[in-house]
Structure 1
C-alpha cells in the first residue's frame, strides 16, 4: 500500500482560467526561494491531506475555499488540490513570501516558476485541452447531491458553526447538511437531522424550497445542493458530531452570521425572494 503524500498545495483557478501564484522570498532557506509557487505546506500530526491544505491556505492567504478536490500527485510526495477562487489577490494578507497574483498560461511560461509547479500547470492545461467537445448524449458527469435542512422559528433560521478543523468550511456557519448515500434525498435529510442534531422529522412534513447548482472550480465535480424546509419537527438541536459542528444557533434572517458558506447564504436569499433555483460558479 502506497503511503499518502506528506506535502499539500492548492492550485486555485479563476473564471478566466488564470492561476493564483505565490512569489516566494528569495533570501530565506526555504523551498522554491525566489520563485513563483503554489500556496501549501506539510501535513502536521494526524491531519488528513484535506485538513492540511485547508490549514495552509488559511495561514498563507487567509482564504477558506469550499470544494477543493484532489487533482494530481507530484513525485509521490506532493498532493495538489484544485479549487476555484475569483477574488482580488492584491487584497490577500501576505504572511509568507512577497505577493500573490493571477497569471494566464502564456504568462507563466515567462516567469521564474518552481519546476514542480510548471509540471502541475502543464497537467492542468493538458487535461482541459483533452476534454472532447460535447454533443448530444456526450459529456455526462456524475453530480454530488447534498441535502440541507431549513428550519425557521420565530423569524430565525437554524445554522451550525463548523469545527475549525473540519475539512469542509472550517469556522463557517452552515445548514445542517449531508451527502446522499444509497438513499433518497428526503431519507438522507431525516437521517442527517437525527445523527447530527437529534431532531426527529417526518417525510410528510418536508418540502423542497431551493436548489443550488454549483461548481467550485474548473473540472471539479458539479454539485446539486437541495434545501428542504421541515414544517414540523421534534426535539431541540444538540451537538452530536462535535468534530464537525461546535454548536447550533437560531439566526435572524436579516442578520445572518459571518462567515457563512456561500451557497447556503445564496439559498437563503433565494428563499426570501421566492426564487426556487440558484446557479453558482458556472461560466
Structure 2
C-alpha cells in the first residue's frame, strides 16, 4: 500500500473591525512564544475547516461566529526552516460575529489588541503577517519558508 505524505492543517481567523485586525500575543505555548498571531489552532479532523475555525475563534477570544459567517480568503503552504516540517494554513475572514473579544486562554495568550494591517507591529509571526497582507489584497495562495520565496502571488479573488 502506498503511504501518502502527511500534511497537518492550521486554521486562522482574521477578524476585522474599523479596518483593523485582531491579534493575540502568545505566551507559555512552547511554540513561538511571545509572538503575535491571529486566533488560530490545528485542525484535528472530524469536522469541516470552517466549523473548526469558528470553534477556535470562540475558544481563544469569546467571539461567536457561525461557520457560514467565515469565508476562506487565503491558503498557505508552509515549511519550517529548522525542522523541514510542512503544513497548510487556511485563513478565514470573519464577516459576521457577536461579542467583544477577550483573553480566554490566559495560559496561552497574554495580549489582545486591534492593529492596522498595513502597519503591523514588530513581533507578528512572519507567515501570519504575509497571509494577512495576501488575504486582504485578494491573493488566494502563497507559500512560506521555502528556498524560493514568492510572497503574495497566485490567483486573485473576485
After TM superposition, the score normalised by the length of structure 2 is 0.85
Residue deviations 1:12-70 (CA, integer Å, cap 9, x gap): xxxxxxxxxxxxxxxxxxxxxxxxxxxxxxxxxxxxxxxxxxxxxxxxxxxxxxxxxxx
Mapped partners of 1:268, 1:234: distance in 2: 22
Match of 2:65 in 1: 201
1:262 aligns with 2:123: no
1:1-283 equivalences under 5 Å are 140-163=4-27, 165-181=28-44, 182-217=46-81, 220-283=84-147
How far has the Cα of 1:219 moved from its partner? 5.9
When the two chains are superposed, the root-mean-square deviation of aligned CA atoms in Å is 1.8
Secondary structure of the 1:211 match is: strand
Contact 1:142 1:221 survives alignment (8 Å) = no
Mapped partners of 1:155, 1:229: distance in 2: 13
Work out which of the two has the higher radius of gyration on C-alpha atoms and give 1 or 2. Answer: 1
How far has the Cα of 1:172 moved from its partner? 0.7
Q: Whose relative contact order is higher, 1 or 2, with alpha carbons under 8 Å and at least 6 apart?
A: 2
Mapped partners of 1:265, 1:223: distance in 2: 17
Secondary structure of the 1:242 match is: coil
Mapped partners of 2:98, 2:50: distance in 1: 16
Secondary structure of the 2:85 match is: coil
Mapped partners of 2:56, 2:36: distance in 1: 17
State the number of aligned residues. Answer: 146
Q: Stretches of 4+ moved more than 4 A in 1? A: none
Mapped partners of 2:83, 2:102: distance in 1: 37
After TM superposition, the score normalised by the length of structure 1 is 0.49
Mapped partners of 1:237, 1:195: distance in 2: 11
Mapped partners of 1:237, 1:170: distance in 2: 21
